[in-house]
Amino acid sequence: MTEIFSLTNTKPVSTPIEPGKQLMTEQSPSTTTQITRMHGVPYAKAIGSVLWPTMISRPDAAYAVGVLVQFIQNLGQTHWEALKQVIVYLGATKDLWLTFGGRNQSLVNGFCNANWASQTHCHSISGYLFHMRSGAVTWSSKKQYIVALSSTESEYVVLSHAEKEALWLRAFISEIWGAKHKPVIINCDNQGAIALSKDNKFHV
């Protein structure tokens, strides 16, 4: 991939995106000259190149790619530089791979999180990942449709999405092994969201 976009000799990076980096529509070109200058940039091709490994085997780059794909219609130089970092990161870590199996006693467990209003559009980003034994088998990172009014609300939203995935996984495993699977544990680090999910007095 680095050869295709002439990034072979670029210095390796250790993260797919800089922590706290702000990517926004205000960084997109606004004048005809600026737009014309960006027309020759192979942004769509590059997005397609990183999207496939991210969906198949690289959950560590899912957040970065999910943010960058939003600017495919009107990209700025900042977005292109950030996308090149993802390409360099995937190239530098191409020898890493998912490992299945392990000695974890729980067949399936999940982890979820949300970064509340970290971007200028104020939509939180939901992220979850499920392990089977010790290997990651399914994951997601996407912008929430609503604007959450608190971190508890944004975490509760991602919990609901993770729960739907857990139910599907549980049904899928039951079909394979022909037996009911134990409840799937979903790990969340927000005490407010945990309280909401456990106590039905907060629900109508």
pLDDT, tens digit, 9 for 90 and up, residues 44-82? 899 999 998 898 889 999 999 988 998 888 888 889 899
pTM, full prediction? 0.81
In angstroms, what is the C-alpha Rg of the chain? Answer: 19
Both 78 and 128 in one domain: the answer is no
Q: What is the number of other CB atoms lying within 10 angstroms of the CB of residue 119?
A: 16
Both 166 and 87 in one domain: the answer is no
Q: How far is residue 130's CA from residue 116's CA, in Å, rounded to a whole number?
A: 21
Q: How far is residue 65's CA from residue 67's CA, in Å, rounded to a whole number?
A: 5
Both 116 and 53 in one domain: the answer is no
Both 53 and 131 in one domain: the answer is no
Residue 192: is its pLDDT beyond 70?
A: yes
- Encode pLDDT of 116-148 as tens digits: 877 777 888 899 999 888 788 999 998 888 888
